[in-house]
Amino acid sequence: MDKSTNWQKIKQALKPYASWKMIVSLIIAWALFAGWAVAFVVVGVMGDNGWFYGIGTAFLAWVLFPNGTFLIPFAIAPFIHKLLFVKKTNKGETK
């Protein structure tokens, strides 16, 4: 398969994520998915609590290692986008 064909497929798959509304949805999805771990790290460092720091760091390491879990917010974002930005009309149709 040609490299340009693969690049076109990747660009086509990422095109819906290129709007500012979807970027907001991705940030919210990431905050829901991994934000609690960042909070655990901050609380663990500030409070000198190794348990909080360890749990938060372990989860963030699990998310960031190349196992594909960093893609989970990309799967959550369309649902958040639909909840926040898709308007419903009186007849149940979407705009």
Q: Is the pLDDT of residue 91 over 70?
A: no
What is residue 90's predicted lDDT score, i.e. its pLDDT?
Answer: 64
Q: CA 87 to CA 95: how far, in whole Å?
A: 6
Q: Where are the alpha helices (DSSP H) in 1-95?
A: 3-14, 20-47, 50-64, 72-85
Q: What is the pLDDT confidence band of residue 51, given thresholds at 50, 70 and 90?
A: very high
Please state, for a pLDDT cut of 70, what percent of the chain lies above it.
Answer: 87
Q: What is the mean pLDDT of residues 55-68?
A: 88
- Spell 33-54 as b/e; 16+ CB within 10 A means b: bbeebeebbeebeeeeeeebbe
Average pLDDT, the chain: 85
DSSP state of 71: G
User: pLDDT confidence of 1, banded at 50, 70, 90?
Assistant: low
| pLDDT > 90 fraction of the chain, expressed in percent and rounded | 33
Whether the CB-CB separation of 20 and 32 falls below 8 Å is answered with no
